[in-house]
Amino acid sequence: MTRRGRLRIYLGAAPGVGKTYAMLCEAHRRAERGTDVVVAFVEHHDRPRTKALLDGLEQVPCREVRYGSATRAEMDTDAVLRRRPAVALVDDMAHTNLPGSRNTKRWQDIEELLEAGIDVISTVNIQHLESLGDVVESITGVRQRETVPDEVVRRAGQIELVDMAPEALRRRMAHGNIFAPDEVDAAMSHYFRPGNLTALRELALLWTADRVDDYLQQYRSEQGIRTTWQARERIVVGVTGGPEGSTLIRRAARMAAKSSGAEILAVYVSRADGLTSASPRRLADQRTLVEQLGGTFHHIIGDDVPSALLDFARGVNANQIVLGSSRRKPWQYIFGPGVGMTVARESGPDIDVHIVTHGEVAKGRGLPAARGAILGRSRRITGWCVSLAGPPVLTVLLPSPEPSVTLASDVLMFMAVTVLAALVGGLYPGMASAALSSVLLNYYFTEPVSRWVVDEGHSLVVLIVFFAIAVAVATVVDRSARRTQQAARLRAESETLTLLAGSVLRGDDTLGALLERARETFGMETAALLERDPSRPGWTCAGSVSAGAARPVRSPDEADVDVPVGDHTMLAMTGRVLPAEDRRVLGAFAAHAAALLDRQRLKDEAVRAHKLAEGNRIRTSLLAAVSHDLRTPLAAIKASVTSLRSTDVAWSKEDEEGLLESIEEGADRLDQLVGNLLDMSRLQTGTVEPLIRDTGLDEVVLRALSGVPADSVELDVPETLPFVAADPGLLERSVANVVENAVKYSPPGTPVLVRGSALGQRVELRIVDRGPGVADEDKERIFAPFQRQGDTPRGNGVGLGLAVARGFAEAMGGTLDAEDTPGGGLTMVLSLPAASQRPQAQPDRGSQRRPAQTPEPEKTTPCTGCS
């Protein structure tokens, strides 16, 4: 039987990272060692370095396939099978073969080669894996049509990740090493954005890391290896929900900090019968702590705690276990050595066990508080009715004892009534039914009838066994009902605490929403967080927020339930008195409410501080602008007016026209400067209220370009683009500011390209210039008010153009960002949400020159090398 060939795959995050190059380099290494290597199919995409590596390698001729009016090359699988090399290179395993091929997909061709015993080296990108199709589409907006089943890739004997940083890949693309020059700009502005590449790279790294762990676990399983391999530091912390848990977690975090890449796994082991339970509040706090320290929390079930803990540690390949010294008192060691000593004895040489001392050593564990879960009142009443009325009714219905009817038949009937009473009412109704049934059986159904004596010994045994079984059944049913209710309650508490912790940690809840959730959870009328100032008497409602329609609580004296949080804060609720078991979860709500209040206040203080600092900076910049930039056009206007009014000089008609033109230019500059200042003032005060409606981008752009020279812009905005949801006036102003900046900093004779395109549910307008560009660290700073960079001369605006443009874009639900232009320069990307309505299809005008316009605009904030 022919052995199956081995598959090696070079996996990449995106096209161009070097998968084919790495595959060809591996082919040369194998050929130099004497391996029979052939190139079955390689797509070099006319890249010179890739084509050069094909020299010296045998290539199996491709099969020419007619497709429409063109002829395409496909891998000739039959020729490769006839050639039967040791190793075949097959590029792009996700490729879809042209109609008429023997297989639909190239990976199916590869499977044939592997079945024939030929080793195959292939390539694939992470976006082509079947399971990641939806994820890739959500990232890039592009649905991959060519995919490979994950199982095919996982079966590869070796997967090698070809990794490259997004910046390096885009730089390689900008240099023309991947795509043709006319395709670079479109590729970098859509699929090859830095964010897309970063997300795809993370997907590739995570997928490969998972496969490495799978291979390691598979190997350990196949070899029967139970010992821990210290390939990576993993520290398991055993917590009991006691007060020492936080000490153990912090100790483990310090140990992990000494080893790069170490993991912390906190584990709580609960018994399967649920008879013991730690403090849910402490467990929630410890879960939060370990997650804050970068670890994970695990809850496992096991009756034998040491064995469960060791099984978990070996399962995750941990090499250290941290446990606390026992809290048991000395006399309690007569029952056994304890969890810590047992784990240390049975851990073996592959796991180190650390016993950490703490403040609770030998203070005793205490007994779990009893939770008297009981049945509902109506159910207990029904149970008592069945237990007291059921046996007499059954006595009346049953016929008088006959010789043919044994006592056992009557006993079974009364047993059914007793079980029913226990099922409905619990223990005591069941026991009452058992006692009453025994009496009635003795008096009416046991010889001699109507006497309180039993003549036959076996009848006495039947009655005794009946009573014992009835009591046992009632006890089991009652305990089962109580355990079920306890489990349901604990599950509800766990779900409530999990939801609460998750929402607060994610920042989803406001204080009012949290109080309303607490009120609804416990069925109270009102809820409020009270606080008091030590320097003043009385309590106040924190944040002036309360929940409930009734009058809010003003002091703890008015509350039916109050839970203190610290010395000066308290959660107060009205409506009913809560049982003690509810206060545990209520305490978690109170702690989260206090933390949320503190966080909200810190956030408000930070916002106020930021606004004050921003206001001071703007005032300083405004004074500088008024003192210089506004005075410059005023000085020109003043000089021109003074000259015109002078009687000492006789001005010619041409001179007067020049002076008037100077006055007009100065006035236009002043008008635009003041307009930008007013727009920025509106943005700073939040008074911009856009009137959103469906807007055609091509019409707005044409109006926005009225302030730049006719030959300075090349327009490529198809009329078939979807409408955008925007305010036409704000959009026009935003586009005008960005375009005027680009024109000002583009080299003479090089027009600025304004291009529109649709991407998913967004419409983008890209303003591309070939100016000096902006450093990466300055790409965000250029959008700040009063920012000018480089050698921009004073008097060329106050540095508000881009700030106003971005402010208007964000007010309309859009974005404005800066990117590098391939080959040099800066590209401004204005992205807006697409409207539901689409324009009617019309002939695309393509790239066009805008009609000439006259007035030259006031120079706004520079986009490449300024602002």
- Predicted confidence at residue 325, as pLDDT, reads 85
Residue in 824, 536, 788, 510 with CA at minimum distance from that of residue 676: 788
Inter-CA distances, 159 with 27, 38, 41, 152, 205, Å: 16, 20, 19, 12, 12
Range with top average pLDDT, 220-229, 667-676, 743-752: 743-752
Give the chain's mean pLDDT.
78
Mean local confidence (pLDDT), 677-688: 63
> Mean pLDDT: which of 26-30, 384-388, 771-775, 809-813 is highest?
26-30
Span of 438-447, 504-513, 667-676, 718-727 with lowest mean pLDDT: 504-513
Kindly report, residue by residue over 601-623, the tens digit of the pLDDT: 888 888 888 877 766 665 665 55
Residue 335, pLDDT > 60, answer no
Higher pLDDT among residues 398 and 725, named by residue: 725
- Do 247 and 357 touch, CB atoms closer than 8 A? no
Q: Which of 280-294, 321-335, 605-619, 781-795 has the lowest mean pLDDT?
A: 781-795
More confident residue, 835 or 622: 835
* Residue 689 predicted with pLDDT over 70: yes
**Local structure of 547: helix, strand or coil:** strand
pLDDT of res. 123: 94
Between 139 and 495, whose confidence is greater? 139
More confident residue, 534 or 503: 534
- pLDDT surpassing 80 at residue 682: no
What's the chain's Rg over C-alpha atoms?
40
Q: What's the chain's length in residues?
A: 867
Q: CA triplet 172, 178, 182: central angle to 5 degrees? A: 105
pLDDT of residue 85: 94
> Which tens digits make up the pLDDT trace of 547-600?
766 666 777 777 777 878 877 788 888 877 766 567 677 788 888 788 878 888
Give the rounded percent of residues in the chain with a pLDDT score beyond 70: 76
- pLDDT (0 to 100) of residue 693: 87
Give the tens place of pLDDT for each residue, 56-112. 899 999 988 877 777 888 899 999 999 999 999 999 999 988 887 888 899 999 999
Q: Which residues contact 33 (CB under 8 A, 6 or more apart)?
A: none
pLDDT band, very low/low/confident/very high, at 649 (cuts 50, 70, 90): confident
**Which H or E element spans position 430?**
helix 427-444
Full DSSP string of 41-107: E---TT-HHHHHHHTTSEEPPPEEEEETTEEEEE--HHHHHHH--SEEEE--TTPBPPTTSSSSBHH
Residue 832 pairs with which residues in a beta bridge?
763
Residue 860: which pLDDT band, with cuts at 50, 70 and 90?
A: very low
Mean pLDDT of 511-517: 76
pLDDT score recorded for residue 37: 94
The pLDDT value given to residue 291: 83
- What's the pLDDT at 400? 65
- Closest by alpha carbon to 138, among 725, 757, 760? 760
Identify which of 193-207, 216-230, 683-697 has the greatest average pLDDT: 193-207
User: Percent of the chain at pLDDT above 90?
Assistant: 12
Q: Are 741 and 712 in contact (CB under 8 A)?
A: no
Identify which has the larger pLDDT, 248 or 519: 248
Q: What is the mean pLDDT of residues 183-205?
A: 82
If one counts every other C-beta atom within 10 angstroms of the C-beta of residue 460, the result is 14
Distance CA 767, CA 863 (A): 10
Q: Quick one: pLDDT band at residue 236, thresholds 50, 70, 90?
A: very high
* pLDDT reported for residue 369: 36
- For residues 565-586, one letter each, b for 16 or more C-beta atoms within 10 angstroms of the residue's C-beta and e for the rest, the string is beeebbbbbbbeebeebeeebb
Please determine, for residue 228, whether its predicted confidence score (pLDDT) is greater than 60. no
Tell me: the pLDDT tens digits for 561-575?
787 887 778 888 887
Cα–Cα dist 564/640, whole Å:
76
Q: Is the pLDDT of residue 720 over 90?
A: no
pLDDT at 660: 87
